[in-house]
Structure 1
Amino acid sequence: MKRLRSKWFAVGATLLALGLITYNRLRPASFPLDENLLRTESRAKLIAPNGPWHKRVWFELTYSRKHPPTNPLAHRFNSTEPRSCHIHSLLNQCMETTGTEYIVEKKVALGTVMFGHTNVLNGIEWVQAFQDALQKNSPQWYDFGDHTFKSNNLVLLRYDENTVLVLTPEAAKKYREQHPKLVLLEP
């Protein structure tokens, strides 16, 4: 009888572990992606997908305890002179600061934007300043289709309270026709 219980316990523990491992991968996407879009990713929660199952389970169980959600007002960003900044990298930092997921066009993600600020900013102010730079400072990127450098202000569209799209004006028009609930974020 004890052997039967221990076998069922082992089976149950294994199923629970598999459920925890696949939970994040099976959640529905917040915005339907196509081949032209790229999501921001957190640098903090990266674990090798081919690692041993017991290490992945342990990581999933301990991550949220070791890394609770941060308060955006607790972040401090010192003043910096305007300089060319990588768009996708700073969008990743915006996501880690506020928890908002950014979905950006792949061609734009590789681009740069002039960004800097004169005051010490908290997390929310810094994210707003970077979003304003994307909308006003004419980011530059290389268009592999045309083999030319492009420079144009970007359009930010809010899909829901946790998702923002960063698009060129042409793509923004297309996505607004497909998804009428997208809301334009003003600089």
Structure 2
Amino acid sequence: MIVDLRLVAARVARGDDAAFRQIVEHTRAPMYRLAARLVGDLAEAEDALQEAFVDAYRALREGRYDGRSKVETWLYRIVTNACLDALRRRRDTPREASTEPRFDGLVSAEARVALRELDALLAALPPQERAALVLVAVEGLPAKEAAAALGCSEGAVEQRLVRARAALRARQIEKEAPHV
């Protein structure tokens, strides 16, 4: 069943609080995947996603979604911002040992290992470069949608991608170089 999320968002804006559940149900999986890839920690991703959905609900109720972009693109921006905030908090405060996610049974051991490997690769990137790379190279968003999600121009997204890829190549070369 195809759901027109713009119509659902309009219902939420008019006071139909129950309609927000449709938005969450329709977008939860890709938004959680994005959050997990951006922060590299499943529990932190869950927290960032919950924060993002609360922010989205408030924004809809306050009329701050204008309908010019797809609801999914708008949510990508909110989730990305919540994740960037989480990364800043992580940088500014000592990080406790990671706990297992509360999404019992939904994440396989292979997915956890892959997420750790991806996080290790992306950890050295500045948050904005990491976000651009995840949105475009991992999530498959076109540069235009990634720009909307990041609140910048397409050119800025392309520039961040070039810098991120160069940093990853340099890291790979460094890793492969013989140690003397």
Per the shorter chain, which TM-score range?
under 0.3
Higher helix share: 2
Q: Looking at both structures, which has the greater relative contact order when contacts are Cα pairs under 8 Å and sequence separation is at least 6?
A: 2
TM-score normalised by length of structure 2: 0.27
TM-score normalised by length of structure 1: 0.27
Higher strand share: 1
Q: Highest Rg: 1 or 2?
A: 1
